Amino acid sequence: MVELVGFLTVGMVVLLLILGKTNPIVALVGVPIIGALLLGYSLQDINGFFSSGLGKVISVAVMFIFAILFFGVMNHIGLFDPVINGVIKITQGHVVLIAIGTVIVGSLAHLDGSGATTFLVSIPAFLPIYRKMKMSPNLLVMLVAGSIGIVNLLPWGGPLARSASVLSMDVAALWRPLIPLQLIGLLFLVVFAAIMGLREQKRILAGKNDHLTDENLIDKVTQKIESFAGAPRGKTNRMIYAINWILFIGILVILLGDFLQPSLAFLVGLVIALPLNYKTTKEQADIIKESAPNAILMASIIISAGMFLGILNGTGMLKEMTVSIVSFMPNVILPYLYLIVGFFGLPLDLVTSTDAYYFALLPIILEISAPFGVDPSAVVYSLAIGNNFGAMISPLAPSTWLGVGLAGVSIGSHIRYSFIPMWIFSLVLLALAFVLGLI
């Protein structure tokens, strides 16, 4: 009975998340409560399950809030825009350099962990150049999506934050072993962009030797960046701008060195950044309000996941489901199940939402792998690396629709163009993780 209700609960949550018929908060809270009531648990029991689950995820939720607010300030003041503008100017007129520049700008734009912001900054910045050079806008979307896939493994990105919630561990501790993979992965991504750029160059070489001749194009691009990024150009003096860079680097050093908890590090950063860049309380309140919706939404989903996981564990559903699955699978497969799921991580992203993948599938794979001595972090790395690089290829991700909409391409053409190259690249990253001893 318990495993049946467990499968129905998880299945319904996954179905609702995939279909997008309701907010993740409703699915992650409402369905498991019904499951617990069907098993005969009282409201007082459910209250205890929530308290247990909340204790496991609250630190991640708080970190998300202050990380998003901190990076909201950094984006609003245009901290990275000189670098972005410089990359655009350097790459003008050269197809391969344009492709490389795309992943550099995309990686910088995604430091705040928001896929929407990354597309809003990167696509309008490069689309005029791609059009001028007769380059495919599908290539632009794919390269920006690839940049998101690498950078999104930061602690304030969705995959690790969700995984840390499931494991009940410090997200910064989960992230640090991934730093070499991210750095090497970014180098691989530059090489990947160069290869795709060469392919694109061959495609357009037959007819044109077309370089950028519009002298106003870079100005137009810069204006688009300013419009989407919302950065107050000309209002931040050089001294304050330099201090902001020192602050940004200092926060990264604190995270890397584990000197403060991630949530406290971002809170301190926000406390310094607000009065440094905005002199009045109204300006400070306005910039917080600008980033608050994203911060509250992500924190609410993480807290709701605490309820979901708390009920699955407290009622014994997760344990019984695991026993049931194990009894039906050949023993030879079970120790490597996490690798198999990681291998098919990108295709799975086309049919599962991020929340379903990490909050429903990951706990089950962890339970199955535990008796075989598989390190839980290895399970997380396999699933996250295999899946995350294709996150922005999924039609279930709202940011994907934003990206293809800005580029003027269809979701179908984006998937057809990007699926095979991105899946191959995700497998390269998995192989790199194996070489580095992560899995």
The 10s digit of each residue's pLDDT in 275-323 is: 999 989 998 998 888 888 878 877 887 788 788 878 888 888 877 776 6
- Tokens representing residue 261 in the block: 């908890």
The residue type found at 167 is: L
**C-beta of residue 181 within 8 angstroms of C-beta of residue 426:** no
pLDDT band at residue 182 using 50, 70 and 90 as cut-offs: very high
pLDDT band at residue 221 using 50, 70 and 90 as cut-offs: very low
End-to-end Cα spacing for the chain: 35
- Tokens representing residue 299 in the block: 């924190």
The 10s digit of each residue's pLDDT in 6-62 is: 888 878 877 777 676 777 788 889 999 999 999 889 999 999 999 988 887 787 778
Q: What is the pLDDT of residue 233?
A: 44
User: How far apart (Å, rounded) are the C-alpha atoms in residues 137 and 126?
Assistant: 9
From the number of C-beta atoms within 10 Å of its C-beta (0-12, 13-18, 19+), residue 253 rates as exposed
Report the domain count for the chain.
1
Residue indicated by tokens 């598989």: 374
Task: Indicate the pTM of the whole model.
Answer: 0.67
Enclosing domain of residue 150 = 2-435
The 10s digit of each residue's pLDDT in 366-424 is: 888 888 888 999 999 999 888 887 778 876 666 777 788 778 888 778 888 998 999 99
- Tokens representing residue 217 in the block: 């194009």
